[in-house]
Structure 1
Amino acid sequence: MLVRDLIPLLDAELIYGSDDIDIREIHSGCGSDMMSDVLAFVKDQPVLLTGLCNPQVIRTAEMMDIMCLVFVRGKRPDEKMIELARERGICLLATPHTMFTACGILYKAGLVGGA
C-alpha cells in the first residue's frame, strides 16, 4: 500500500509529504499514543496512527524508520512539528476518525500490524 492510498481510506488531509506519497510503500501499521510501545514493538516501515501531538512523536518516528504519521481524532501538528517532520522526511496526515476506527479501516484494506 502506498501513502497515497491512506488518504481516501481515512478521509485524511495531507499535511506534509506530497512529493513522496506515490513512492512510499507502507508494509504495516501501528496505533498508539504511547511512544514507549512504539519503540518496543514497531518494525517494517510502518505508518503510525496516534492522537499524541508533540515533537516526541516525530523523533520516535525517525528512530523507528516510520515514514508516515497519521494524527487521529482531528488532531493537527503545530508548525514546529511540521518543520521537524520536513527535516526528517516524514509524511504527515490528519484524519477525523478515532484511532480504533482508523486502524480498523486500514486492517480491512489489507494492512497488517507491525508487532
Structure 2
Amino acid sequence: MQLKDIQLLLDATLLCGEDLLETEIHSACASDLMSDVLSLVKDQKILLTGLCNTQVLRTAEMMDMLCVIMVRGKQPDASMIQMANQKNICLLSTGKTMFNSCGLLFSNGVNGDHAHE
C-alpha cells in the first residue's frame, strides 16, 4: 500500500511530504510513549500518535520512519511542519481515533511488529 492510499483510507490531511506519497508501506506502529517506540519498534515506516510535538519527529527520524500520522485531529504548529520538511518526514493528520486508524490499516494489509507477540 502506498502512503497516498493510506492518506485516502484514513481521510487524512497532508501537511508535508508530498514527494513521499508514492512510497510503499507495509508496517506501522502506534504509541503516545516515545520511549516505547524507541525500545520496541523495529522496521516500521509509519508512526501513529496522539502527540503533537517535535519529540515525535525526533523519534521518527531516529527510527528511520517515513511518516507520522497524528490522530484525533491533532494539528501541528508551523515549526513542527517545518521540522518535518527538513527531516523529509511525511506528516498527516486524521480525525479518526488511534484505535480505528490502526484497525483500518491492519485490515488493509499494513502490519505491526510481531516480534514481541
TM-score normalised over the length of structure 1: 0.95
Residue 111 of structure 1 is matched in structure 2 by 110
8 Å Cα contact 1:46/1:114 also seen in 2: no
Q: Confirm whether residue 75 of structure 1 aligns to residue 74 of structure 2.
A: yes
CA distance in 2, matches of 1:114, 1:47: 12
CA distance in 1, matches of 2:106, 2:58: 25
8 Å Cα contact 1:27/1:44 also seen in 2: no
Q: Confirm whether residue 60 of structure 1 aligns to residue 59 of structure 2.
A: yes
Q: What amino acid sits opposite 2:84 in the alignment?
A: A
1:50-77 deviation digits (Å, cap 9, x = unpaired): 0100100000000000100000000011
1:34-91 deviation digits (Å, cap 9, x = unpaired): 0001001112242110010010000000000010000000001111111111110000
How many aligned residue pairs are there?
114
Q: What amino acid sits opposite 1:18 in the alignment?
A: E
Residue correspondence of structure 1 range 1-115 to structure 2 within 5 A: 1-22=1-22, 24-115=23-114
Structure 1 counterpart SS, 2:91? strand
CA distance in 2, matches of 1:108, 1:93: 20
CA distance in 2, matches of 1:45, 1:37: 13
CA distance in 1, matches of 2:13, 2:25: 17
CA distance in 2, matches of 1:37, 1:19: 29
Q: What amino acid sits opposite 1:6 in the alignment?
A: I
8 Å Cα contact 1:49/1:72 also seen in 2: yes
Give RMSD over aligned pairs.
1.0
Point out 4+ residue stretches in structure 1 off by more than 4 angstroms.
none
CA distance in 1, matches of 2:86, 2:74: 21
8 Å Cα contact 2:31/2:48 also seen in 1: yes
* Structure 1 residues without counterparts, runs of 5 or longer: none
CA distance in 1, matches of 2:86, 2:109: 30
